[in-house]
Homo-oligomer: A and B are copies of this chain.
């Protein structure tokens, strides 16, 4: 994800991976709604959507009074009406493929993921960290190149079923061993000088160790196994997402996958951590895991002829103390938050860490944005990690606990509580409840450090947007989506689709009723201020794309007559821009005008919104030539150099 941003922003970057291959089986698989929106903003959501299995319904199976499991509930997997997307499931290797293809295309084949390369030393020139000149490279990393064979984990050699235990949190880290091996064999090494370094290097993060930062939190005694199999079963809901609580054999989650595969998360009650707190990996095989599953799912039969992958993990929730070092070295993903995988959050939240950081780095490296915006990475994402850990703590205990026999069984888990936690957690799990706090990037009222993780992200030019002008375009949350029509060709788009991840901010002009003379006058004044603003005019179109949505009747409106030229600029070679002006009006084939109502914007008078390059809402204000414009300018003065 981070490399994708580097490719999109045109940043010279290198990406190294200690493993010698991409993922070919197993690992993460769930893609939440927000991740799909992000994929769409990069232009490859359709590939995932087509190949993936779609999760529509969640079925809950619990023991009846006779101790036999039965289906107690069916609920939609994601709330109805929440999004044009649902949760989908696709193996991580395909997702890596989409990213690799995207990076290749947008970097013009100049950035590759370099495999079988391990970092050996990190040197930081402390005095250069605050110096943001083009020639300042405060970081120096020694990289060592392994052969493919050296980089392959011992467990993975020669087996038929893919064994994922070597990547599990039950396994020791092998980074140091790899470095030692490479040194012994005198593998090639090189020194890379860099302005920034991001460690997306997992729970055992080498980068985090160099910085001396900690993951705080405790493991539990719960050990779970994971199987990717083509199941042969008479269990009725094997193609539904299921949570199965057995009376006394533990719990199981069913995640139906693409190509007839089903992923099973299976509680391994018979395997416990030893005195050192670590479980014996040698006892964990596909056979022991399926045996545990059979006990849970009885009286239904369950077996397989084909197993694609398996692993196991120990549940625990930990969050990093620090997400960055002097805004020069950053940590993302499992390097700063680990938890159980069953809510499908790991890959999604980790990608979203990098999605948050990438464009900020891109704009700072290019000298467009002030380096201070990098502080918002920890403030925004560490807060999310804390929320995630709290969510997972609650959810995984409810899932791993023994179901209560009856209302008097206080040591058991109430299945009503479990269902409620699932439903409540749905919006969070979909990734749509993310609400970044006030900062130079979010013109929100309130205390910036209280709303984040405590990091100082206050802006010198404090701007507070007028939330009441767009009640459903929440400051700090992602720009929501409703259908609009292109004024020039009447095609329907989800408005969010026009906010592509190309590193540009969006100035979104809800132009209101452009055919009403007073509103036309306000719009004209605003556009005049826009084109004549000496601070912003140079950024227009290059760093700030302009999108318009008006509310007049489409067929009564003429783009060239009724919409100021700055909103659909003329190009000497290609003529007028026909892709920037939209209208909230009825369509022939896809229903009626609901965008202004959905966004909570007044149809006559509209408003102005600034969306960050990651689609999060930075500013909402009035469409006014003077006061309205000054606030927009002040917002960008807090962001741009």
Residues of A within 8 A of B (CB): 46, 50, 53-54, 56-57, 74, 76, 80-81, 86, 230-234, 236, 238-240, 256, 260, 305-306, 486, 488-492, 555, 558-561, 572-576, 578, 587-589
Contacts and interface: CB of A to CB of B under 8 A. Distances in A.
Contacts of A572: 305
A531 to B, nearest CB: 20
A230 B236 CA distance: 57
A126 to B, nearest CB: 49
Contacts of A589: 56, 76, 80-81, 86
A505 B256 CA distance: 29
A352 B50 CA distance: 25
A117 B346 CA distance: 55
Given A57-B490, A57-B588, 8 more contacts: A56-B492, A56-B587, A80-B588, A80-B589, A233-B575, A238-B488, A239-B486, A305-B572
A50 B231 CA distance: 35
Most buried by B among A236, A486, A491, A558: A491
Contacts of A53: 489
B74 A555 contact: yes
Contact of A239 (B232, B233, B488, B492): B488
Given A489-B57, A588-B80, A239 B578 contact: yes
A337 B636 CA distance: 61
Nearest to A49: B46
B240 A305 contact: no
A393 B50 CA distance: 41
A489 B76 CA distance: 11
A572 B233 CA distance: 11
Contacts of A558: 236
A574 B56 contact: no
A491 B49 CA distance: 13
Nearest to A79: B588
Given A46-B50, A575-B231, A588-B80, A559 B236 contact: yes
Contact of A56 (B46, B305, B588): B588
A181 B350 CA distance: 63
B46 A489 contact: no
A445 to B, nearest CB: 35
Given A46-B46, A231-B575, A490 B555 contact: no
A255 to B, nearest CB: 12
A574 B489 contact: no
Nearest to A558: B236
Nearest to A588: B76
A573 B230 contact: yes
16 contacts: A46-B50, A54-B489, A56-B492, A56-B589, A57-B588, A80-B588, A80-B589, A232-B574, A232-B575, A233-B575, A236-B558, A239-B486, A256-B489, A260-B574, A260-B578, A305-B572
Contacts of A490: 56-57, 240
A489 B240 contact: yes
A574 B57 contact: no
A236 B50 CA distance: 37
A560 B240 CA distance: 14
A446 to B, nearest CB: 35
B560 A236 contact: yes
Nearest to A236: B558
B74 A305 contact: no
Nearest to A77: B588
Contacts of A76: 588-589
Contact of A574 (B46, B239, B306): B306
Query: What are the 10 tightest A-B residue pairs by CB atom distance, in nearest-first order?
Result: A232-B575, A239-B489, A239-B488, A56-B490, A76-B588, A57-B490, A305-B573, A239-B578, A230-B574, A54-B491
A593 to B, nearest CB: 15
Contacts of A74: 555
Contacts of A81: 589
Contacts of A587: 56
A509 to B, nearest CB: 20
Contacts of A492: 56
Most buried by B among A76, A81, A239: A239
Given A80-B588, A306-B573, A56 B86 contact: no
Given A239-B489, A490-B57, A560 B234 contact: yes
A231 B570 CA distance: 12
A587 to B, nearest CB: 8
